[in-house]
């Protein structure tokens, strides 16, 4: 069996594709929602979860060979609609990014899937392309992987960071240098209303209303998701015959894009596909910062392929350590979080 796995290499699905041997990929709440059919972006069956992949090129389609500079053995990252939690992935060469030499694959995955999109969204909030030094920054949902990356990069720039999270996460976030707030807007908005220079909201508890009200007159709201639309239960219509969560998700996206002023909706996949060179430059820079010890991505844990459903269940229950959950498809044993990483639980 092991010999068969080692000798079998799939062929590219299209001439533009390359075959990547996956070293690691992410496991996310979005995967859980897609698997349950509770996400606005539907995936065809059979569905393989995993949207971010790090690995090595094994084979190239004829057009990928002809038109790209990639070759077998190149160490690459890709953001994909699905299919990352596998041993091999067929990916269009246009979606690949080279990983700097010497970068650990798990760190490359964390930097590409969380820190790079956060860095791009931070650029949307800057005034005259200046750092956020001294700015009041509010992170809605600070305990998730994107929230933690936002906190670290904002603190690195000298921002004053506030973050919402369940009370059980406050000790962990406070130790990072964050001013902690409860989840419900009614408990923090009276204090923060009109004070924030930047608000990052990936949760969307109330259609971004409270996040927008927290802004000062020149502030910017960066909307990066709407997880609460799906995690806070069914939105019934016609006596419960229909679930309106997909409609609600599209409505809040429209609201952020066209109704709210001083507001930007940041979709990391859209940005990855439309501005690949920008992503690549930020990614290389953040890998450099990690190499210098300036940023330290947090890894929740590494798990073999067969344990992905267990990790998904734990993500839904909020019973995973802080950081990015990583699938290691060629491993057979579950790894504990490495030293220096919290064993606290991070509800999503």
pLDDT tens string 57-112: 999 999 999 999 999 999 999 999 999 999 999 999 999 999 999 999 999 999 99
Mean pLDDT of the chain: 90
86-95, 114-123, 314-323: which range is least confident on average?
314-323
Q: Which of 178, 25, 190, 231 is nearest to 113 (CA)?
A: 25
Cα–Cα nearest to 204, from 264, 140, 124? 140
Asked whether 348 and 144 are in contact (CB, 8 A), the reply is yes
Over the stretch 170-183, which tens digit does the pLDDT of each residue have? 999 999 999 999 99
31: phi then psi, degrees, rounded to nearest 5: -60, -40
The total number of residues shown for the chain amounts to 348
> Cα dist. 67→15, 127, 162 in Å?
10, 39, 47
Q: Mind listing the pLDDT tens digit for each residue in 131-165?
A: 999 999 999 999 999 999 999 999 999 999 999 99
Residue 236 pLDDT class (50, 70, 90 cuts): confident
**CA distance linking residue 347 with residue 338, whole number of Å:** 20
Strand 75-79 to 96-98 pairing: antiparallel
The pTM of this model reads 0.90
Whether the bond into 332 is cis, omega within 30 of 0: no
What pLDDT is recorded for position 164?
Answer: 98
């Amino acid at each position: 069996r092991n010999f068969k796995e080692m000798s079998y290499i799939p062929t590219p699905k299209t001439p533009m594709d390359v075959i990547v041997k996956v070293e690691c990929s992410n496991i996310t709440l979005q995967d859980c929602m897609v698997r349950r059919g509770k996400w606005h972006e539907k995936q065809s069956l059979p569905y393989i979860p995993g949207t971010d992949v790090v690995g090595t090129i094994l084979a190239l389609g004829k057009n990928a060979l002809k038109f790209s500079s990639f070759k077998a053995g190149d160490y690459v990252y890709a953001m994909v609609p699905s299919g990352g939690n596998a041993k091999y992935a067929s990916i269009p060469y246009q979606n690949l990014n080279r990983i700097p030499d010497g970068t650990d694959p798990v760190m490359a995955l964390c930097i590409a899937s969380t820190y790079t999109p956060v860095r791009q969204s931070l650029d949307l909030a800057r005034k005259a392309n200046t750092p956020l030094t001294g700015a009041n920054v509010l992170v809605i949902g600070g305990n998730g992987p994107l929230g933690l990356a936002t906190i670290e990069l904002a603190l690195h720039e000298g921002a004053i960071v506030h973050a919402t999270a369940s009370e059980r996460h406050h000790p962990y976030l406070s130790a990072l240098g964050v001013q902690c707030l409860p989840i419900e807007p009614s408990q923090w908005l009276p204090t923060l209303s009109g004070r924030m220079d930047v608000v990052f909201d990936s949760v969307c508890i109330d259609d971004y209303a409270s996040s927008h009200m927290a802004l000062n007159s020149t502030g910017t709201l960066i909307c990066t998701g709407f997880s609460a639309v799906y995690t806070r239960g069914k939105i019934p219509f016609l006596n419960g015959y229909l679930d309106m969560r997909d409609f609600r998700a599209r409505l809040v996206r429209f609201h952020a894009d066209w109704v709210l002023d001083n507001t930007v909706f940041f979709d990391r996949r859209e940005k990855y596909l439309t501005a690949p060179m920008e992503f690549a430059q930020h990614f290389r820079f953040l890998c450099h910062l990690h190499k210098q010890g300036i940023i330290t991505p947090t890894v929740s844990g590494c798990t073999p392929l067969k344990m992905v459903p267990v990790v998904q269940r734990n993500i839904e229950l909020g019973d995973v350590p802080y950081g990015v959950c990583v699938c290691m498809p060629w491993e057979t044993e579950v790894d504990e979080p490495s030293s220096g990483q919290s064993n606290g639980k991070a509800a999503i």
